[in-house]
Structure 1
Amino acid sequence: MKKFEEKTIHSNRLYEGKIINLKVDDVSLPNGHTSKRELIEHPGAVAIIAITPENKIILVEQYRKALERSLIEIPAGKLEPGEAPEYTAMRELEEETGYTAEKLVKIQTFATSPGFANEVVHLFAAEGLSKATNGAVLDDDEFVELMEVTIEEAEQMVVDEKIYDAKTAFAVLWAKQRFSIEN
């Protein structure tokens, strides 16, 4: 038994979408009482820390409807059915930024919002970057602006809340630590 496990008594799927599903589970609590849990099912995603040979972090700015604002983020994307996270990361890096990598190094996998969603993000560092021959190839509903900034500039963007999402803030912290150790 898992510590503090909540056993599902009944599950009711309310919505099935292209990106998420929504369900409400009735659960039995460790103390014997019952409760409801509103849950989002998500296929998972990847995020890529891409640092140029000039030690600049590649970021993309895009509008995020859920927050009603533009955010500056590291390249990222949703896992497609049957795709390995490494494949998705390489595909998203090229599609969003126009860069390819010689190799990807897995940094960590983490839950984004475990209180209500099962989404996990697989974070990779892209090494040996080079420009792809065909540049960025965005989806029809995707509008991004590419930028390359120093680690110090990225840190300031976190302070200024231009970088506002956890995966990118984590990536900036990771990059700062990595480069302070190497230098």
Structure 2
Amino acid sequence: MLTALLSGFTTGAGLIIAIGSQNAFVLRQGLMRHHIGAVVAITSLSDILLISCGVAGIGILVEAWPSLVQYLRWGGAAFLAFYGLQAAQRAWSGSGALHAAQQTSSASLKTVVLTCLAFTFLNPHVYLDTMVLLGSLSANYPGFGQIAFAIGACCASLVWFIALGYGARLLRPVFNSPLAWRILDASIAVFMLTLSALMLS
């Protein structure tokens, strides 16, 4: 049981901690301290839901219906391109630093929630990682071991998003500089637009 739990935790952490569009979004919200509780809750609970579905065997449906992943790829690429262009505009104008300094933002809770859900569920890799890969690996631990593996993977997601979202404030002194925000937004823009292009390739 302990082996399965640790295996689930380390495997889940390896997949979740990898730099991705969702992590970049959580980091930026954490730096702004803007609706971070909702963002952390959505990202963590979404991962827990998908991991649980994968262990329950629903990942087989994703493998059997490849067109679903294709549709998600197109939608995800369009969304990432849109968000990347927004980040590029913030980097060019320096508007991101203004919002951070005032600890305010024009984005409502509804907008932040919908954006977070889009980053989570329009990414086809999240289904392959959580439902297919983790679901398949959990089969190596039959019985309660499979449940322990899933719990370990879910705990990794919870720990990571809490640390990323609420730990981002430790970087606030660095981001007191408008230049730092422009560099961050420029990096996010390049990252999002590159991911969008890769999804379509």
Shorter-chain TM-score: what band?
under 0.3
Q: If each structure's strand is expressed as a fraction of its own residues, which one has the higher value? A: 1
> Higher relative CO (CA 8 A, sep ≥ 6), structure 1 or 2?
2
TM-score (norm 2): 0.23
TM-score (norm 1): 0.24
